[in-house]
Amino acid sequence: MGVDHWLDEFGSVMLATVVSASNSSPMPVGSQLVVTSGERFEGWVSGGCVESEVIAESTEVMETGCPKIRELELRKTWCVRA
């Protein structure tokens, strides 16, 4: 689904985009995560490590209309994979 489809269906969405990344980042610059007002989402910005934090902040961004730039650090304690 493209962002236009999400806007048509849900009316309001938040789009998170990786604007800078270290060499160890699991997702490259340009990776995106789209979130609806009901916290439905599609895409990845960290391979699963910080998506829940980004989704939680999406409500505020959609309510205020004010964009945010966040620096998120990936730590092994946050991202445990089976």
Domain map (residue ranges) of the chain: 3-64
| pLDDT, tens only, 18-50 | 888 877 778 888 889 989 887 788 888 887 778
CA distance 66 to 52: 19
Band (pLDDT 50/70/90 cuts) for residue 71 is confident
Residue 32's DSSP bridge partners are 17
As a residue count, the chain comes to 82
Neighbours of 69 (CB within 10 A): 7
pLDDT for 62 equals 87
pTM of the model: 0.75
| Res 81 pLDDT > 70 | no
